[in-house]
Structure 1
Amino acid sequence: MTLSGGRSAGPEARETSGVTTAGLLTYVEAQGGRDAVARLLERAGVTATAEELADQSRWFSYATRVRLFSAATEVLDDPDVMFHVGAAAMRSGLAHSLLLVLRALGTPRQVFRRMPRTAAKFTTVSTMDILTTSATSATAALHLHEGYEHSALDCDYARGLATTVPEIFGLPPGVIVSSQCRVGGGRTCVYEVTWERRSRLGRRRRSDGAADRELAALRGQLHTLQSAATDLVGSDDLDTVLSRIVARAGEAVLAPAHLLAVAAPGGGRPLVHSAGIPDDQAQELARRLLAGEDLGSAAVVVDVASARRWHGRLAAVYPSGEGSMNDEYAMLAAYAGHAAAALELLFALDGARLEASRAGALLALAHELAAAEDVDSISSVVAEALPRVVGCSSASVMLWDASAGQLKALASANLTRERSGILVETPLRPEDTPELVDLLTTREPRIIRDADSSPGLQRLLAQIGVADVVALPLVADGTFVGVATASWDVGEAPEELHGDVLARLRGVGDQATSALRRAQLLETVRHQATHDALTGLPNRVLFRERLLAELSSSGEQAHLAVLFCDLDRFKGVNDALGHAAGDELLRQVAARLRAVIRPCDTVGRLSGDEFALILPGLVDPQDAYGLAGRVADCFAEPFRLDGREVAVGTSVGVAVHEPGSSAEELLRQADAAMYRHKQGHRSPRPAG
């Protein structure tokens, strides 16, 4: 397993445990006071603060370590200072958890036999071999990895540290009897340490020192756990708490890397935090952790679980399986218990906040829907509310067009502009979408997965980046109105979509259905108030509104004209064929007028057999008479009424807008021109 480190110019490499830097600062302060520590940091030129360097859970680069060692030698003016720092490790606060683990091994000889694993807890740039051991001696070889410059001060520190092993058991410090730095000009240092036998010491002397250190370590470990518990519950931000769990894990069990994988509350992608592991490796390791796979001797793995709930797993990770030791599982598990309690509290707070937020979102939705008057604005309000209420990644509102036989998206939320455009421009038709047929016939919600959806729908989901969808039919008074969708990106959907998710979606859907039904009724009323019931054309009210709008927006270089039309011999049709035929004639006239005007023009029925047209954007005023001629020509063919062909003509008056004239004046001018035309039976001509 490869862990992060190395000599890149990015963040501080994780190559030296904070236990080492903390011990150094403790020794320097004891010898020269706080001023000496300040001078040490200044001379070393490191960016870390004294507080950071004293944090045993942190890791620093090998370059930082060597600069601190060199600066300490200069500040204390002692060439052997690093040997003394190593020898004073027990008094400088060596990691309590490690001391307890080493103490449990029973003898100095057993500790030295485990020294290669112990060394991995302090550095990732060198490895150790134990060449020989006896009841009172051990020979160790320290190998510096390629790519790092050898430091004699680092070798001094390691030798001093080796002398502290007998002290773990209440024995006097060991003695270095031989030492070879850079054996054969290579990258290896070899040294031999000896110590006294237990039998040569009095019983009281043998036990008191060890017991005191063990008691101090136990107290220190308890303080660490208590401090960790306080720290973990000191934030109500999930990301901060997860980061703290990983950082504090370094105090529970020394390791160059730690990994936390927590199952996301409510499902979705797991929450992964790590230190000392590249992101791509962290994601894969997290997957294996949550799947319950064995990471082997390279990791100490514990469950993060409370009495109520299993949250995930926490691991201390070592390179190539070196470093993990007996009893560390229990220490990491004790810490994981505090982490689980913190997560339990935080998830409970998050749950309460989430429910309050959703309740607020539902209340806000009700207020916004009350203010929204048209279908478009209601659809937008509902789509924007769905992610807040349901907790989905994205959402949409799609309306059913019965005349076209298709379902078309009207609004979406949390999609990019490009993806939203694709959704809006891709209507769904029953003949191509079995899922839509199911919604139309059963009127029941449907869960749609990209992997098993129909080809057309699968293609659409891929284009908009959606993997899972809950589609809720919107039904008002037995009429299928449309569909509200809650959707999730790949890996984001909760495991269970039928429970709370569907209940919240139904709550929004009920409000949406009522609002859409109300908007459709209002739209019908507005249409009836502004359109002619017989022909469907704008009536006098809407025609005048559009004329005013065109007058206010017309430019200086464009001209606007109004045409006024009156049917000839309309009364005769009514008298001869009846009012039903007269109504049919008016409908056919409306259809012919729609067919001859431009898309930008407006045709309306003002009353009886009077029609009017608005012609905006004319380059030349004379163009109005050409359009009037086309209107007159559409009456050349007879109309078919009750199986009979009936010839009906029209009189057309034209008025071109001049600066300063009002809409009413323009209508009066066109009306007057129409009457002159009717009386003279001549071609249309200008008003006046």
Structure 2
Amino acid sequence: MTTTVPEPRETSGATTALVLAYVREHGGDAAVAETLRRAAVPFTAEELGRPDHWVGYDTRVRLFTAATEVLGDPETMWRVGSEALSNGLSPALVLIVRAIGSPRQVYRQLPRAVAKFSTTSTMTVLEAGATHATIHYRLHDGYRHSRLDCDYARGLIGMVPVVFGLPRAEVRHDECESDGHPACIYHLTWESRSRLGRRRRRSAEASAEAELVALRGQLRTLQSAASDLVASDDLDAILHTIVARAAQAVLAPAYVLAVTPPAGGAPLVHSAGLPDDAITGTARTLLATGDLGPHAVVVDVASARRRHGRLAAVYPEGHGAIGDERSMLAAYAGHAAAALDLLMALEDARLEADRAGALLALAHELAAAPDADAVCDVVARALPRVVGCSRATIMLWDPASGRLRTRASEGLDAGAAAFAARTDLAAEDTPELVGMLTDREPRVLRDATSSPALRGLLEGLGSTDAVAVPLLAGTSFLGVAAAGWRQGEAPSVLDGDVLVRLRGVGDQASTALQKARLLETVRHQAAHDALTGLPNRVLFLERLTAALERPEAEEQIAVLFCDLDRFKAVNDSLGHAAGDELLRQVAARLLSAVRPGDTVGRLSGDEFAVVLRGLSSPEGAHSLARRVLACFDEPFRLEGREVRIGTSVGVAVHANGDGGPELLLRRADAAMYADKHRDREAPAR
């Protein structure tokens, strides 16, 4: 089971892998399990066998101690180092050592090699001759020296000539930190090829065999890396695998991978071994120039199709690569680029399929949208999937006030959504809006360069970048569809594919808004009187029915029925145009006489009716009836003449058990006729 215990990166997995390989060879899997138990190591054998898995110095010493106890051999750690070549020494390291050319040259570069295994010590080569060398090795302050660690180092140092087919070096170790000396001093001597005599051919064969084994191991690792990379379809997993596999190509304390997303936005960065506060700056430099200094090996992650980014193995200051490690790292980077190409192609295909599905769904939903608000909601929901933005806003133009008002948004938290709903843009305060009204062209918007009004809107929505396209019906400006991105999320190019997709959605939205407005006009015409604009009989009865079905507590509902007196005489004497104008003026006076929540309707000809809501007693209805009658006291002005007409008003108050709206309207009609009959019996007005 994989652990999450944090460990300092002080000892490479190349070291722990050698220890476990030796224990397994001499004691089997049971000995490995017992070693891990005694050392209380919080990792599995599989984890400790990976070159990219680093542990702390204390964990390393506990593992050395446990291995020595389990095998019962005080020379265990010396043997682990001296037999490293046959126990799984990293193929990459074997090839590097072979490429250097001779034991003397290897010993001269040994301090740089130590940085590949440990970050807790410093090695200095005091002298290096053709067949001898003196090495100074000191543990950093704050660490407690272990003789077992020294034994391992002696074995490993003495093994170097074996890589070249020579006998082991003799290592004399008279000064050790464990004995109180300030540092460990190693005196090495080894044989040269010229002194081997008859053993020369056999040594050369052994040397070539070691190199062949290392090459085969490197090839297997490279093939395995290629398989692992193409087996995943998750971008994050692939980036993690690239970094992990880089540790098998080039042993180093730290690695960093920076990849530019195909759709733009902030770089994708994976690292191991770098301090948290150094990751961002290192990744930025890596992508910009690739120059991390002489203590890093940097390669491009690139294919024939595109350059994805860069990969680096990073060493402490003063250290760096040994031999041609760049070629090894580049081989892994090539496989990584191929895997990224494949993933990007799959991702592009998925995105296009998703966008096609989103566009199809958008077309279906827009076809069913009953009004402008529904159209705006549908378009706002579709934009993130179609355009790839993180938030979307639809604003409609109010020509009467000269303002853009938000009608729908998507991808905003509750606070930003509330801000959007209550915020509008005035043309006189927004130069970008004036420009769009003038040329009807899209705008790419940045918070840093926008006008104050627009910058305030972008900040309230949490967007630093946006693209806005006008919604047009012919030459009529209907509003704006805008796609926005948070800091660092926007594609590098906003006026390319992003704009094309946004314009496509905007065209569909414009068509749907036109249709919605046409439907609203048709519905209004079907439910309103064309002459006065008042609800017609159908809509009047709908509202009366709704009032009767859902009354407020203790609410009484009434209907006033009005019929104009002497309307026919006006038509006959002044003409139908004057009669129409009279009806419009009557409608205006009735609307001014009733309360805002009441409904005034024209039922037919010169018959009007009013639904009265919120009454506490029947007297309220009669009081409103008197106000209606009073609005006819002043003469109407028609064709330049003052014309006096009256009205007859009937009142019906609904009571429980009175039946439905038609019955209540008939009762009010009957009351009106009774009132008209009384008027006829009275002296003429």
Q: Which residue of 2 aligns with 1:498?
A: 495
Normalising by structure 1, we get a TM-score of 0.92
Q: Would you say the 8 A contact 1:116–1:323 is kept in 2? A: no
Distance 1:658 1:478 in 2: 55
Among residues 69, 78, 83, which one is paired with 2:78 in the alignment?
Answer: 83
Among residues 157, 163, 166, which one is paired with 1:168 in the alignment?
Answer: 163
Task: Give deviations 1:158-186, integer Å, cap 9, x for gaps.
Answer: 22222212222222222331144436748
Instruction: Give the direction of change, closer, same or farther, for the CA distance of 1:657–1:61 in structure 2 (3 Å limit).
Output: farther
Instruction: Give the direction of change, closer, same or farther, for the CA distance of 1:665–1:110 in structure 2 (3 Å limit).
Output: same
Q: Return the offset for 1:422.
A: 2.4
Instruction: Give the direction of change, closer, same or farther, for the CA distance of 1:166–1:577 in structure 2 (3 Å limit).
Output: same
- Higher mean C-alpha displacement, 160-169 vs 630-639: 630-639
Among residues 262, 273, 278, which one is paired with 1:276 in the alignment?
Answer: 273
Instruction: Give the direction of change, closer, same or farther, for the CA distance of 1:119–1:529 in structure 2 (3 Å limit).
Output: same
Distance 1:170 1:626 in 2: 118
Q: Which residue of 1 aligns with 2:135?
A: 140
Q: Equivalences for 1:515-534 in 2 at 5 Å?
A: 515-534=512-531
Q: Return the offset for 1:109.
A: 2.6
Among residues 103, 107, 116, which one is paired with 2:102 in the alignment?
Answer: 107
Task: Give deviations 1:585-627, integer Å, cap 9, x for gaps.
Answer: 3323333333344443322222223322333344455444444
1:41 maps to amino acid: L
- Higher mean C-alpha displacement, 249-258 vs 659-668: 659-668
Task: Give deviations 1:536-585, integer Å, cap 9, x for gaps.
Answer: 12111112112222222224433333333333443343344333233223
Among residues 317, 320, 327, which one is paired with 1:330 in the alignment?
Answer: 327
Task: Give deviations 1:515-540, integer Å, cap 9, x for gaps.
Answer: 22221111111110011112212111
Q: Would you say the 8 A contact 1:383–1:395 is kept in 2? A: yes
Q: Return the offset for 1:194.
A: 3.2
Q: Would you say the 8 A contact 2:173–2:184 is kept in 1? A: no
Instruction: Give the direction of change, closer, same or farther, for the CA distance of 1:628–1:64 in structure 2 (3 Å limit).
Output: farther
Instruction: Give the direction of change, closer, same or farther, for the CA distance of 1:187–1:51 in structure 2 (3 Å limit).
Output: farther
Q: Which residue of 2 aligns with 1:210?
A: 207
Among residues 669, 672, 682, which one is paired with 2:670 in the alignment?
Answer: 672
Instruction: Give the direction of change, closer, same or farther, for the CA distance of 1:10–1:649 in structure 2 (3 Å limit).
Output: farther
Q: Which residue of 2 aligns with 1:152?
A: 147
Aligned length: 674
Instruction: Give the direction of change, closer, same or farther, for the CA distance of 1:34–1:128 in structure 2 (3 Å limit).
Output: same
Distance 1:673 1:283 in 2: 84
Q: Return the offset for 1:458.
A: 2.1
1:42 and 2:37 are equivalent in the alignment: yes
1:295 and 2:292 are equivalent in the alignment: yes
Distance 1:277 1:672 in 2: 91
Task: Give deviations 1:421-451, integer Å, cap 9, x for gaps.
Answer: 3233222232222222222222232323333
Task: Give deviations 1:396-436, integer Å, cap 9, x for gaps.
Answer: 22222223322222222222232233233222232222222
What SS class does the counterpart of residue 69 from structure 2 fall into? helix
Structure 2: give runs of 5+ residues left out of the alignment.
681-685
Task: Give deviations 1:286-313, integer Å, cap 9, x for gaps.
Answer: 1111111521023111111112322111
- Higher mean C-alpha displacement, 426-435 vs 634-643: 634-643
- Higher mean C-alpha displacement, 203-212 vs 227-236: 203-212
Instruction: Give the direction of change, closer, same or farther, for the CA distance of 1:183–1:30 in structure 2 (3 Å limit).
Output: closer
Q: Which residue of 2 aligns with 1:67?
A: 62
1:418 maps to amino acid: G
Q: Which residue of 1 aligns with 2:126?
A: 131
1:372 and 2:369 are equivalent in the alignment: yes
Among residues 248, 253, 256, which one is paired with 1:259 in the alignment?
Answer: 256
Instruction: Give the direction of change, closer, same or farther, for the CA distance of 1:532–1:321 in structure 2 (3 Å limit).
Output: farther
Task: Give deviations 1:471-530, integer Å, cap 9, x for gaps.
Answer: 222222332222222222233222333332222223222222222222111111111001
Task: Give deviations 1:119-151, integer Å, cap 9, x for gaps.
Answer: 111122333233343333333343333444443
1:663 maps to amino acid: P
What SS class does the counterpart of residue 213 from structure 2 fall into? helix
1:94 maps to amino acid: L
Q: Return the offset for 1:637.
A: 3.9
What SS class does the counterpart of residue 172 from structure 2 fall into? strand
Distance 1:185 1:617 in 2: 100
Distance 1:237 1:32 in 2: 40
Q: Would you say the 8 A contact 2:11–2:117 is kept in 1? A: yes
Q: Equivalences for 1:594-673 in 2 at 5 Å?
A: 594-620=591-617, 622-660=619-657, 661-673=659-671
Q: Which residue of 2 aligns with 1:245?
A: 242
Q: Would you say the 8 A contact 1:84–1:157 is kept in 2? A: yes
Q: Would you say the 8 A contact 2:168–2:190 is kept in 1? A: yes
Q: Would you say the 8 A contact 2:127–2:135 is kept in 1? A: yes
Q: Return the offset for 1:221.
A: 1.2
Q: Return the offset for 1:636.
A: 4.1
Structure 1: give runs of 5+ residues left out of the alignment.
1-8, 683-688
Q: Return the offset for 1:228.
A: 0.8
Q: Would you say the 8 A contact 1:26–1:92 is kept in 2? A: yes
Q: Which residue of 2 aligns with 1:120?
A: 115
- Higher mean C-alpha displacement, 63-72 vs 612-621: 612-621
Distance 1:150 1:672 in 2: 112
- Higher mean C-alpha displacement, 564-573 vs 526-535: 564-573
2:363 maps to amino acid: A
Q: Return the offset for 1:314.
A: 0.6
Among residues 532, 537, 549, which one is paired with 2:534 in the alignment?
Answer: 537
Q: Which residue of 1 aligns with 2:337?
A: 340
Instruction: Give the direction of change, closer, same or farther, for the CA distance of 1:616–1:117 in structure 2 (3 Å limit).
Output: farther
Distance 2:145 2:510 in 1: 75
- Higher mean C-alpha displacement, 275-284 vs 255-264: 275-284
- Higher mean C-alpha displacement, 393-402 vs 175-184: 175-184
Q: How much is the aligned-residue C-alpha RMSD, in angstroms?
A: 2.5
- Higher mean C-alpha displacement, 154-163 vs 626-635: 626-635
Instruction: Give the direction of change, closer, same or farther, for the CA distance of 1:676–1:155 in structure 2 (3 Å limit).
Output: farther
Q: Return the offset for 1:241.
A: 1.0
Q: Equivalences for 1:414-433 in 2 at 5 Å?
A: 414-433=411-430
Q: Which residue of 1 aligns with 2:12?
A: 17
Distance 2:525 2:45 in 1: 79
What SS class does the counterpart of residue 492 from structure 2 fall into? coil
Q: Which residue of 1 aligns with 2:173?
A: 178
Q: Which residue of 2 aligns with 1:461?
A: 458
1:256 maps to amino acid: P
Instruction: Give the direction of change, closer, same or farther, for the CA distance of 1:669–1:100 in structure 2 (3 Å limit).
Output: same
1:352 and 2:349 are equivalent in the alignment: yes
- Higher mean C-alpha displacement, 128-137 vs 327-336: 128-137
What SS class does the counterpart of residue 296 from structure 1 fall into? coil
What SS class does the counterpart of residue 429 from structure 2 fall into? coil
2:464 maps to amino acid: A
What SS class does the counterpart of residue 85 from structure 2 fall into? coil
Q: Which residue of 2 aligns with 1:385?
A: 382
Q: Which residue of 1 aligns with 2:93?
A: 98
Q: Would you say the 8 A contact 1:304–1:337 is kept in 2? A: yes
Q: Would you say the 8 A contact 1:183–1:190 is kept in 2? A: no
- Higher mean C-alpha displacement, 622-631 vs 476-485: 622-631
Q: Return the offset for 1:341.
A: 1.3
Instruction: Give the direction of change, closer, same or farther, for the CA distance of 1:321–1:342 in structure 2 (3 Å limit).
Output: farther
Q: Would you say the 8 A contact 1:21–1:65 is kept in 2? A: yes
2:258 maps to amino acid: A
Q: Return the offset for 1:642.
A: 3.4
Q: Which residue of 2 aligns with 1:310?
A: 307
What SS class does the counterpart of residue 168 from structure 2 fall into? coil
1:541 maps to amino acid: V
Instruction: Give the direction of change, closer, same or farther, for the CA distance of 1:182–1:619 in structure 2 (3 Å limit).
Output: farther
Q: Which residue of 1 aligns with 2:193?
A: 198
Q: Would you say the 8 A contact 1:232–1:245 is kept in 2? A: yes
Q: Return the offset for 1:345.
A: 1.6
Q: Would you say the 8 A contact 2:145–2:178 is kept in 1? A: no
